[in-house]
Amino acid sequence: MIRCVFINCLVFFHVSVNELQHVWIIPQFVGQESSHHKEQLVDEVSRFATVSLCERYKDMLFICVNGALSARLIAHISKSITDLTALWNYPVSPIVCPHLLGLSDLRSATELVQTNAADAAMIFPHDECLTIGELRLAQKCRNMIARGTTWLNSVLNAQRRLIDVDEAPELLETIAAFLLDCNCSVVDTARQLFVHPNTVKYRLGKIENLVGFKVGTMPDSEWLYTLAGISRLMQ
């Protein structure tokens, strides 16, 4: 369905598939002012790059931008979009989908947004703009929860015991803030938790002694991301 809808839009607006390189998706883009908001978003994004398409599909707004965009410029566009959607009180953060390779990538991104955007917003409440990677983590966490309480508890309890969460519950809070909110920054984690940076370093060091790897390194830390994400979804 997404393919048919977007092919029709592309034909109508004379947009090439190759121009769908960078896309921002705004979920739950509804309301009496949505048409006016759409125009404002196009004007704002056009300050930075060429907007090849801006259309709504199933209560989601797609802003498609073409051309070679640097990471810095993508960040500027994301900030401009999120500033406006926050001002208008849209309930879910926009999702940035850079460097797409065509309709197949766009379709996959759309399906992720439809099924996992709300969960990703719960896991990453401090993110102004969500990413496809964050939606994939939300999907993984939700799939694990869907396997049932017995199986999930057996997995979570084993992981929680491994990092001694029952004896030191602040460790899981520190892991979640460090990995999910603060991009592995000790200073930012300390600021968010209202503790001294040395306290964060001590807690991370304790965790690393228990698990045998540096918190934040991949793929070793993947299960820590999942544990923190599931914990937030189940709060």
Instruction: Identify which has the larger pLDDT, 37 or 150.
Output: 37
Partners of 50 in the beta sheet? Answer: 66
Cα-based torsion angle of the residue sequence 163, 166, 167, 169 in order, rounded to the nearest 10 degrees: 80
pLDDT value at position 15? 53
Residue extent(s) of CATH 1.10.10.2840 domains in the chain: 147-233
- Quote the pTM value: 0.85
CATH topology of domain 147-233: Arc Repressor Mutant, subunit A (1.10.10)
pLDDT value at position 102? 74
Reply yes or no on whether the pLDDT at 11 is more than 70: no
Distance of CA 150 to the CA centre of its chain: 28
Residue extent(s) of CATH 3.30.70.600 domains in the chain: 2-117
Q: State which CATH number among 2.60.200.30, 3.60.20.10, 2.60.40.10, 3.30.70.600 fits the domain covering 2-117.
A: 3.30.70.600
Angle at 110 between CA 130 and CA 81, to 5 degrees: 40
Most confident stretch, 33-42, 49-58, 102-111? 33-42
pLDDT value at position 5? 53
Q: Encode pLDDT of 100-155 as tens digits.
A: 877 788 888 889 999 999 999 999 999 989 999 999 999 999 999 998 888 888 88
CB atoms within 10 A of CB 60: 21
Q: Which two tokens stand for residue 198?
A: 């040395």
